[in-house]
């Protein structure tokens, strides 16, 4: 988690995209760091940690929905191809009879 504190946004984006880290983990790491340093630095006037966590959860859930939708499309495509093959085999059988 410590590496996330010093990573650039591009590095964090890449880590999230390659599933090395989740959006929830990124937010948790940064909120933990803010909690630790805020009393000393007094850098934030307002921090909505709950909203940040909720948005990270939404991102994670959206990724899961996209994954499930892609899996469903793959199975639909495979089922359509299998049906086409069956139809083609039926036609060939009729032609050979």
pLDDT for res 32 = 92
pLDDT tens string 54-97:
999 998 888 888 878 877 888 788 778 777 777 777 777 777 76
SS3 letters across 40-91? HHCCCCCCCHHHHHHHHHHHHHHHHHHHHHHHHHHHHHHHHHHHHHHHHHHH
pLDDT for res 89 = 72
d(CA 28, CA 22): 10
pLDDT tens string 13-52:
889 889 899 999 999 999 999 999 999 988 888 889 999 9
pTM of this structure: 0.63
pLDDT for res 28 = 92
* Residue from 22, 44, 17, 19 nearest 33 by CA: 44
Per-domain boundaries in the chain? 2-96
* Residue from 33, 44, 46, 24 nearest 3 by CA: 33
pLDDT for res 36 = 92
d(CA 53, CA 24): 7
CA distances from 97 to 83, 89, 90 (A): 21, 12, 11
pLDDT for res 1 = 56
């Amino acid at each position: 988690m410590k590496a996330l504190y010093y990573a650039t946004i591009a590095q964090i984006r890449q880590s999230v995209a390659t599933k090395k880290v989740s959006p929830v983990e990124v937010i948790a790491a940064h909120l933990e760091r803010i909690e630790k340093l805020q009393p000393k630095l007094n850098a934030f006037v307002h921090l909505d940690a709950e909203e940040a966590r909720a948005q990270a959860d939404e991102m994670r859930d959206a990724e899961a929905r996209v994954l499930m939708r892609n899996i469903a499309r793959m199975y639909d495509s495979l089922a359509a191809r299998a049906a086409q093959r069956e139809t083609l085999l039926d036609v060939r059988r009729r032609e050979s009879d």
